[in-house]
C-alpha cells in the first residue's frame, strides 16, 4: 500500500493535457501496489488507475509491461489496459517520474482464498500463459537463480538476526538449487507475482489479473510453483493439499503440464519460496526511516521452503495422476 509521490493539480493537468479523457472529477491515492504510487482517477470519460513508477522499477522495462498488458487484453484476458495519449504513447511523465494510466477493473482481491478461488486462479494463470505465447518481447527474470546469490550477499551478514542459522540455511539451499535447477522447461511470459493481492474476483469467480510489474520470460511451471506458495498454504504455514489439487486441476483444465514440468515442480516450488524469502529478508533488514509500508515476515517463507524440501513429488501438491 503506498502513495510515495504526491500529485498536485498542476502536475495532473499538465499530464492529462496529452490525453482525451475530459475533465478530472476526482483523484484518490490508493493503498495498492507496494512498489509504485497508485491513484484512482475519475474523469468525464471513465475511471482509471494512474501509476507513477518509483525508483525500484527500471524505466527501460516499462514498455515490456505496458505492451504485455495490451497484448493480453487483446487476447481476451481481463487485465488492466494501458490508456494511450493522443500521440499514441502509453508511457508519459508526471512529477519527475514515468507515469501511465490503465483501465480500472472491477473486482475484489481475497485475503483468505478458498479451494474454489485456488481452482479459479489456476485456470486464470494457464489462460495468461496461453495468451502470452505469441508475445514478441522478452524480459529476463532478474529474480531467478542467477539473481538470488547477489541478492543474498547484501543480507547474509545480518540474516541470523531473523532467526539463528538462517544464513547457513539459505547458503545450503542456494547451493542445492544451483545443482538441480531445471534449464529446459517450456518458457513464455510469466506473471511472477500472482499473489492474492493481484487477482480480482466478482461473486467467487475470477474477474481480472493485475500488477504485471514483475512479469518476465521464464519457465511457465515456475509461475505455477509461485502460486502454490502464494495460494495453497494456510496462515500457520501448513500446506493445504486440497487447495493445491484445485489449483493444479484448474491450471491443467486450460493447459496441461508436461512430464518434465511435473517432475520439476518440487524444485521450482523450493526456488519460488527462496525467491520470496530473499526479497522479504532484504526488505526486512532495510526498512527506510519514515517507511509507509510494513515489511512482510521472511519467516513465513522459511517455513514454506522447509515444507517443499520434504516434498517427494508433485503428488504431494495434490496433482492427480
Residues that bind a copy of itself (CB under 8 A): 1, 3, 6, 8-10, 12, 23-32, 40, 42, 104-108, 110-112, 200, 202-203, 290, 292-294
Nearest residue to 157 (alpha-carbon basis) of 289, 281, 275: 281
Q: How far is the CB of 243 from a copy of itself (least distance, A)?
A: 17
Q: Give the residue carrying C-alpha cell 513429488.
A: 313
Q: Return the number of the residue (88 or 290) whose C-beta is nearest a copy of itself.
A: 290
- Report the alpha-carbon distance of residue 217 to residue 142 in Å, rounded: 10
Burial class (CB in 10 A: 0-12, 13-18, 19+), 184: exposed
Measured in residues, the chain has a length of 321
- H/E segment holding residue 138: none
Q: Which is nearer to a copy of itself, 218 or 300 (CB)?
A: 300
| Minimum distance of a copy of itself from residue 44's CB (angstroms) | 10
Nearer to a copy of itself, 1 or 74 (CB): 1
Q: How far is the CB of 81 from a copy of itself (least distance, A)?
A: 16
Closest CA to 21 of 97, 91, 84, 66: 84
Cα 66 to its chain centre, rounded Å, is: 15
Residue 39 or 148 with smaller CB distance to a copy of itself: 39
Cα(223)–Cα(198) distance, rounded to whole angstroms? 14
Q: What are phi and psi of 195, to 5 degrees?
A: -85, 165
Q: Is 321 exposed, middle or buried (0-12, 13-18, 19+ CB in 10 A)?
A: exposed
Q: Could you tell me the three cell numbers for 240?
A: 493445504
Compare residues 6 and 134 and give the one whose CB is closer to a copy of itself. 6
Least distance from C-beta 177 to a copy of itself, angstroms?
A: 33
CB of 3 to a copy of itself, least distance (A): 5
Least Cβ distance, residue 37 to a copy of itself (angstroms): 9
Amino acid at each position: 500500500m503506498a502513495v510515495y509521490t504526491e500529485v498536485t493539480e498542476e502536475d495532473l493537468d499538465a499530464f492529462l493535457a496529452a490525453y482525451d479523457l475530459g475533465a478530472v472529477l476526482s483523484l484518490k491515492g490508493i493503498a495498492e501496489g507496494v512498489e509504485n504510487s497508485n491513484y484512482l482517477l475519475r474523469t468525464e470519460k471513465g475511471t482509471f488507475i494512474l501509476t507513477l513508477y518509483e525508483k525500484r522499477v527500471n524505466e527501460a522495462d516499462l514498455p515490456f509491461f505496458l505492451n504485455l498488458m495490451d497484448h493480453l487484453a487483446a487476447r481476451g484476458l481481463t487485465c488492466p489496459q494501458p490508456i494511450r495519449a493522443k500521440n499514441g504513447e502509453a508511457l508519459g511523465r508526471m512529477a519527475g517520474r514515468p507515469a501511465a494510466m490503465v483501465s480500472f477493473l472491477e473486482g475484489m482481491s481475497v485475503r483468505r482464498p478458498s479451494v474454489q478461488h485456488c481452482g479459479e486462479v489456476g485456470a486464470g494463470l494457464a489462460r495468461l500463459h496461453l495468451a502470452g505465447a505469441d508475445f514478441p518481447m522478452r524480459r529476463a527474470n532478474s529474480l531467478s537463480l542467477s539473481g538470488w546469490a547477489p541478492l543474498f550477499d547484501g543480507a547474509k551478514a545480518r540474516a541470523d538476526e531473523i532467526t539463528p542459522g538462517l544464513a547457513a540455511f539459505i547458503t545450503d539451499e542456494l547451493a542445492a538449487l544451483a545443482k538441480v535447477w531445471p534449464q529446459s522447461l517450456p518458457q513464455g511470459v510469466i506473471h511472477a507475482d500472482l499473489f492474492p493481492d493481484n487477482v480480482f474476483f466478482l461473486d467467487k469467480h475470477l474477474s481480472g489479473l493485475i500488477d504485471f510489474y514483475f512479469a518476465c520470460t521464464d519457465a511457465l511451471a515456475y509461475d505455477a510453483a509461485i502460486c502454490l506458495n502464494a495460494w495453497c498454504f494456510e496462515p500457520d504455514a501448513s500446506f493445504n493439499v486440497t487447495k493445491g489439487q484445485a489449483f493444479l486441476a484448474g491450471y491443467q483444465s486450460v493447459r496441461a503440464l508436461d512430464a518434465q514440468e511435473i517432475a520439476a515442480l518440487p524444485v521450482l516450488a523450493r526456488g519460488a519460496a527462496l525467491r520470496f524469502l530473499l526479497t522479504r529478508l532484504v526488505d526486512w533488514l532495510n526498512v527506510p526511516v519514515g517507511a509507509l509500508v510494513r515489511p512482510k515476515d521472511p519467516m513465513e517463507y522459511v517455513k514454506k521452503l522447509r515444507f517443499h524440501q520434504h516434498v517427494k513429488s508433485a503428488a504431494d501438491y495434490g496433482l492427480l495422476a
